Structure 1
Amino acid sequence: IPMISPSSTNPKVTEVGDYIFRICFIDPFQGLVMAKFAANTLKVKRIAILQDVKTDYSVGLTNFFRENFIKLGGEITSEESYSQGDKDFNAQLTAIKSKNPEAIYIPGYYTEVGLIARQARKLGITVPLLGGDGWDSEKLWEIGGEALNGCYYSNHSSTDDPNPILQKFVVDYKARYGGQPDAMAALAYDAALVLIDAIKRAGSASPDSIRMALAATKNFPGATGSITIDEHRNAVKNAVVVEVRNGKYLFKESVAP
């Protein structure tokens, strides 16, 4: 039976079987996106990393970011760690500050990132903080507040993106549920649309026919961008970089595979 994951970014997910697909990009690409953004857009050469060693997500993103940033000529000044649920990051941030990085990459979840941002600013660390899609939540600003101004993270979509399909989704979502949809909502919407499209093209309810139609998906116009399924059943698509500014999550740029 075909299965589509809207949001599983770990590359191992689709390796389990030929019937497993995903609509989101994978972590190796997400790490590359922020490495490129740091090197080419922010023009920084020296970055520190603060990772959550208890989650495969954070450890994986750290590895992909480190590898690509070094390939682009960057230097990792230091690597510090924490565990999900921690509240005090002062020791790690003090160690990071002593190495004078130009930015800090924090591939964790918004629950810790907001606290880290506040504590970093209190210690006098003013450089940009960078992260991944684990930052994506309206609660990020509630936790971190103004300490997050001028920080950036990679994501699957941004409600600030002018993509007309996304903008229609945002309007419809607000009308039904109230509030802004996050990227996970947009990915789930796209997963349903891609599946419906595959069923129509298959002309059958046969799992094998639907699987083949899903595998043949090319340039499908979704809310999170144009979606093509590759030979590994992963979605080939752009990522976006989001800037946090005064409680808003602003579209900064789109990065192609």
Structure 2
Amino acid sequence: MLRMKSKKLLRLLVLCFAICIAIVLSFGNTSGFSATGKKVIKIGVNDVLSGTGAQYGQRNLEGLRLAIDEVNQKGGINGAKIELLVFDNKFDKAEALNIATRLATKEKVLAIVGLSTSGSAKSASLAAEKYKVPLITGNAVAETVTVDERTGKTKKYVFRICFSSSIEGALISKFTISSLKLKNVAIVYNASNDYSKEVTKGFEEAFTKAGGKIVMKEAFSQGEQDFRSILTKIKAKKPQAIITPVYYDEAGLIIKQARELKINVPIIGGDALDDPKTVETAGREYCNNVYFVTFYSSQSPDKEVQDFVKKYKERYKVEPNSIAALGYVSGKFLIDAIKRANTISDREKLREALEKTTNYKSIAGTISIDSKHNGQHSGVVIEIQNGVMKFRGRITP
């Protein structure tokens, strides 16, 4: 009888020991240790890597990997290497939320990055706020990415590297009026897309306030391929320019079809035009008198920019656009905050460090985080002539 009790006690002790080991390992994974005992910093990547908009997520991930590999090759942060957990949200808002939830809970990442489109960033921000995990987007410009549209309050755990949609719209307005000296324009935008709607709104407010006149405003829905009807109506109004803050695939079609209809006025957009697909879709012969405002230019003479361009081209064999650049900046920005927070596991300390970021020098300019968690910095204007993108100059709000 005594032997049986001893065996039961031994089994119970073994079971308790196994449970304790499991808890320790689980805790280790949460607090920055891999199952092999090596310190790691788990960062989740949630972006569109296939289908519509895939160019954004792919370029963003390339820039991000470059930044992460640089720090890992130098030994990591406080002896811990950064591990990227990459997931494709397929340009689907529901999937972006599901991935963010998984990264925050099951994968227990320190932070979530990526989210190159405003709709997916807004959706994922729900999980970031609920599970208190910092989320950093490099180029989702919609105001409601970092601000709760119901309360008007800044989302505590969500940060944006680039300027917001209202600032981007205002910069497009400033360039149109101050540089091109144009005051009568038509607008073509995607009513199904948060980015397009909000940059359009920012442009309208700034443009009309500065004395500009919008002679026509036409909306289309996601997936539209034929803009000839819209453009024909616009042509009759004789605007001095067409403002179209849309994605690169839509912009390419609008440019091509406008030129085929002999509409040769300037066509002006935002950062979403900054992709070779814009020219590829439109055709080089049609890509003249086209401009867009964005966050960075590979043609900037700054040494830091040229160093980045060289490294990126050596690795990926293509010129880095603003999406790739902001992926790189996002990685460096996050690394800087982790170092200042002096932690590899504490989300709250990281959040506080991100919020306190001021005068951070990057290839997209000097960045400070404002009260709405937006990155404050200047922009650049790119001109497309004969299908070639050229750096025209910097522009400030």
TM-score, with length taken from structure 1:
0.95
Listed one character per residue, the Cα deviations across residues 95-152 of structure 1 (whole Å, up to 9, x for unaligned) are 1111111000011111121111111112111100001112121111111122121210
Tell me the equivalent position of 1:54: 192
Secondary structure of 2:226's counterpart equals coil
- Amino acid corresponding to residue 357 of structure 2 in structure 1: T
Could you tell me which of 378, 393, 396 is aligned with 1:238? 378
Tell me the equivalent position of 1:42: 180
**1:89 maps onto 2:221 in alignment:** no
Which 4+ stretches in 1 moved above 6 angstroms? none
Q: Distance in 2 between matches of 1:111 and 1:203?
A: 42
Q: Distance in 2 between matches of 1:204 and 1:86?
A: 47
Q: Distance in 2 between matches of 1:163 and 1:225?
A: 10
**1:195 maps onto 2:327 in alignment:** no
Percent identity between the two aligned chains: 41
Secondary structure of 1:85's counterpart equals coil
Tell me the equivalent position of 1:24: 162
Deviates more, 1:57-66 or 1:93-102: 57-66
- Amino acid corresponding to residue 73 of structure 1 in structure 2: G
Is this contact kept in 2: 1:50–1:104, CA < 8 A? yes
Q: Distance in 1 between matches of 2:362 and 2:147?
A: 24
Is this contact kept in 2: 1:158–1:249, CA < 8 A? no
Is this contact kept in 2: 1:163–1:225, CA < 8 A? no
**1:111 maps onto 2:249 in alignment:** yes
Secondary structure of 1:28's counterpart equals helix
Secondary structure of 2:168's counterpart equals helix
- Amino acid corresponding to residue 352 of structure 2 in structure 1: M
Cα root mean square deviation, aligned: 1.3
1:85 Cα offset (Å): 2.0
**1:4 maps onto 2:144 in alignment:** no
1:88 Cα offset (Å): 1.6
Q: Distance in 2 between matches of 1:53 and 1:231?
A: 28
Flag the structure with higher helix content: 2
Q: Which has the higher contact order (CA 8 A, sep 6+)?
A: 1
1:9 Cα offset (Å): 0.9
- Amino acid corresponding to residue 63 of structure 1 in structure 2: K
Deviates more, 1:81-90 or 1:5-14: 81-90
Could you tell me which of 246, 250, 273 is aligned with 1:135? 273
Kindly tell me the number of residue pairs found equivalent between the two proteins.
257
**1:185 maps onto 2:327 in alignment:** no
1:201 Cα offset (Å): 1.7
Q: Distance in 2 between matches of 1:109 and 1:69?
A: 21
TM-score, with length taken from structure 2:
0.63
Q: Distance in 1 between matches of 2:156 and 2:189?
A: 32
Deviates more, 1:75-84 or 1:20-29: 75-84
| Unpaired stretches in structure 2, ≥5 consecutive residues | 1-132, 149-154
Q: Distance in 2 between matches of 1:237 and 1:43?
A: 24
- Amino acid corresponding to residue 381 of structure 2 in structure 1: V
Deviates more, 1:3-12 or 1:97-106: 3-12
1:161 Cα offset (Å): 1.6
> Larger Cα Rg: Structure 1 or Structure 2?
2
Could you tell me which of 211, 215, 225 is aligned with 2:365? 225
1:50 Cα offset (Å): 1.0
Give the 5 Å matches for 1:162-173: 162-173=301-312
1:253 Cα offset (Å): 2.0
| Unpaired stretches in structure 1, ≥5 consecutive residues | none
1:21 Cα offset (Å): 1.0
Q: Distance in 1 between matches of 2:135 and 2:251?
A: 32
Is this contact kept in 1: 2:143–2:198, CA < 8 A? no
